[in-house]
Amino acid sequence: MPVNHTFEALAHVRRREVLRILRKHDRLSAGQIAERLAIPRPTLSGHLNILKGADLIIGEREGTTIWYRLNLTVMEEALGLALSLLSRQPIEEGQLSSVFAASPSAAVYAASPSRIYAASPSKS
């Protein structure tokens, strides 16, 4: 999936809210997500379809229920791309994944622009 679909999906505040909710839970049904967001199910369905189309979430059917969970691989790739754009030095492929696997918040901290700039050699 092209990365531009990922960023387009992340552009809407409700879709980012869905991702935040899913981050706190292993998996949730559409009904559970709709309750937490207090939005109509048809509206949520459109957001879920866009997030699935961008591979940011995965839907797994069990009987009549579809359970949604985050696709952390795509989230990691998007984060790595965004951080590499901000970095003065390229972030090696896989460098962020080892930190991200240990702790997503540590990965964001470790690769935050202020830390990247501070670690970059200054050109005087």
Class of the domain covering 3-70: mainly alpha
CATH 1.10.10.10 intervals, the chain: 3-70
- Tens of pLDDT, residue by residue over 47-68, are 999 999 999 999 999 999 999 9
Q: Is the pTM above the cut of 0.95?
A: no
Contact 47, 18 (CB under 8 A): yes
What separation in angstroms does the CA of 73 have from each of 20, 61, 84, 89, 94? 16, 20, 16, 22, 11
Identify the band that residue 5 occupies on the pLDDT scale cut at 50, 70 and 90: confident
* 44 or 81: which leads in pLDDT: 44
DSSP structural state of residue 57: E
Q: Each residue of 65-123: pLDDT tens digit? A: 999 999 988 878 877 777 777 776 655 655 555 545 554 554 444 444 444 444 444 44
